[in-house]
Structure formats: C-alpha cells, structure tokens
Amino acid sequence: KKLSSAMEEMKLLQSKLSTMERYAGILHGAIFGRPLDEQDIPFSLQLPGSFDIAKEWENMLESADRGKLTRLEMFYQNMLAGVKDKLLKRKVQEIVQECLQLSSATRHNK
C-alpha cells in the first residue's frame, strides 16, 4: 500500500513538474523570443539559500547583447501598454457605473 501511495505521489509530482516546465518555457519564449534552455537557468538558483531575482535580472541585462535588449524593451513596452489599456478601461467602467448610479438616484428622488 505504501508503494502504491508513493507511486501516485510520484506521478502527481511528475505531472506538476511537466506543467511548470511548460509554463516556464512559454513564459521564457514570450519574454526572450526563444525556447528555454537549461543553460538559461541562473546557476545561483541551484545553490542553497535565497535567490536574488533583482541581482540575476541585472546580471542578465549586463550580459545581454543589443538584440536581446531590444527584444526585451519591445516585450515590456507591449506589456506596459496592455496594463495601461486595462487600467484605463476599468477607470472608464467605474466612471460610467458612477454616472449610471447617480442618474438612477436622481430619477428616484424626483
């Protein structure tokens, strides 16, 4: 019974690992424009202790060539534009909702 339970746990962990690898690959491809390769994973992530993402990001930027930096800039500009667009749409929705509520309240008070 313990063996069966351990095998089920192993299958679950393998499934989770596969999902996480696929997610990391998709994310890496979207950001860097190429598939994730094992050599892209920072060595410090394999070391015990805390992982300093800010330091790793700075190291990656320092070692990036002009093409990579340009792709990163385009990716982040597009992401930022999408976020700003979503914020603006939500603000407009809030304003419209407030106007509708005020209009409704004004009609009921007459």
DSSP the chain: -HHHHHHHHHHHHHHHHHHHHHHHHHHHHHHHSS---GGGS-GGGGSSS---HHHHHHHHHHH--HHHHHHHHHHHHHHHHHHHHHHHHHHHHHHHHHHHHHHHHHHHH-
Q: Is residue 110 part of a domain?
A: no
Q: What is the mean pLDDT of residues 82-92?
A: 98
Q: Are 75 and 30 in contact (CB under 8 A)?
A: yes
Residue 56 belongs to a domain:
yes
Would you state the structure tokens that stand for residue 77, as one six-digit string? 């500009």
Residue 10 lies in a domain: yes
Structure tokens at 58: 């700075």
Q: What total number of domains does the chain contain? A: 1
pLDDT value of position 9 = 95
The residue whose two tokens read 């792709």 is 71
| Mean pLDDT, range 9-24, rounded to an integer | 96
Q: Is residue 35 part of a domain?
A: yes
Q: What is the pTM of this model?
A: 0.66
Whether 67 is covered by a domain: the verdict is yes
In this prediction, residues 37-66 reach a mean pLDDT of: 87
Residue 21 lies in a domain: yes
How far apart CA 39 and CA 17 sit, in angstroms, is 18
The residue range of the domain holding 21 is: 2-79
In the prediction, which pLDDT does 110 show? 64
